[in-house]
Amino acid sequence: MTEFRELIRILSDAQVEFIIVGGVAAFAHGSARVTQDVDVVYRRTPENLKRLVAALQPYNPYPRGAPEGLPFKWDERTIQLGVNFTLRTTLGFIDLLGEITAGGSYDDVVRHSHLVEVYGTTCLCIDLDELIRVKKAVGRPKDFDAIAELEAIRDERRSS
Amino acid sequence: MDPIIEVYKRDVDRTLIRENLRLTVDQRLANLEALLRDAEEIREAMRQAKSKRAAEHHEP
């Protein structure tokens, strides 16, 4: 099981620059759709990669679904060589995204994000409007239900 | 895509959304963790029940 709030707290405490996106962001906005992993967009500066590596190191990040025993080394070079990583850790599943389709990198997404309080700490979460826009732009049929729910949340917020 | 989404919106349970919107973000995420924990317990109970049935079936 993924300890969502603990993962978020660890990244925040380590001053990692990240933004919550995906299913956890949807849940934070009021969705009732269950998700099993945390998706975050992280900033790809050398300083931030250093903080990210140090923050997750104690939780043994490893590529999700990959066979055991791969020569995977969790360090800054590995992150520099890739962009998006789907990982399992001892705290659960986390997807580290250097960029998201139709949303761009951290510096793009941050303009459409706001601070939320989680577990006594604050972190950035993608705005509801941007989450809807990105999901629509990607246009996957499997997201239609989720988009409909997010739009319903927006309707409810506007009417309350 | 919007006309399609409008059709999907008819089936959205807005009562769940209204309940969730009454909570803080932290409370919503705590609920998500609790839901996953409950689901895992149910899965484990089903696994155990299945093993028990299999063991009983093989008893002489």
Q: Give A154 or A71, the one with higher predicted confidence.
A: A154
CB contact under 8 A, B29 and A118: yes
| Alpha carbons A95 and A112: distance in angstroms, whole number | 20
Which residue of B9, B33, B40 is in closest CB contact with A5?
B33
Mean pLDDT across the stretch A111-135?
95
How far is the C-alpha of A156 from the C-alpha of B11, rounded, in Å?
Answer: 15
**Which is it for the CA torsion A47, A49, A51, A57, positive or negative?**
negative
What are A32-68's pLDDT values in tens digits? 999 999 999 999 999 999 999 999 999 999 999 999 9
DSSP state of A83: S
- 3-state SS assignment for residue A27: helix
pLDDT of residue B55: 87
Q: Which residues of B touch A (CB under 8 A)?
A: 1, 4-6, 8-9, 11-14, 16-18, 20-21, 24-26, 28-30, 32-33, 35-37, 39-40
- Closest-CA residue of chain A to B14: A152
Residue B60 has pLDDT above 70, yes or no: no
| Contact predicate B11/A33, CB 8 Å | no
The complex scores an ipTM of: 0.84
* pLDDT, tens only, A73-100: 999 999 999 999 999 999 999 999 999 9
CA gyration radius, chain B:
20
Confidence of residue A138 (pLDDT cuts 50, 70, 90): very high
Instruction: Kindly determine whether residue A149 and residue B20, on different chains, have CB atoms separated by under 8 Å.
Output: no
Chain B: closest CA distance from residue A78 (Å)? 30
As a whole number, mean pLDDT of residues B46-59 equals 86
Q: What is the mean pLDDT of residues A143-158?
A: 96
* Tokens standing for residue A158: 């506007």
Q: How many residue contacts between A and B have a Cβ separation below 8 Å?
A: 80
What confidence category does residue A1 fall into, taking pLDDT thresholds of 50, 70 and 90? confident
Please give the residue of chain B at the shortest CA–CA distance from A29. B25
pTM of the model: 0.92
Q: Which residues contact A17 (CB under 8 A, 6 or more apart)?
A: A42, A43, A45, A48, A51, A106
Token pair recorded at residue A134: 């990105």
> Residue A103 pLDDT more than 70?
yes
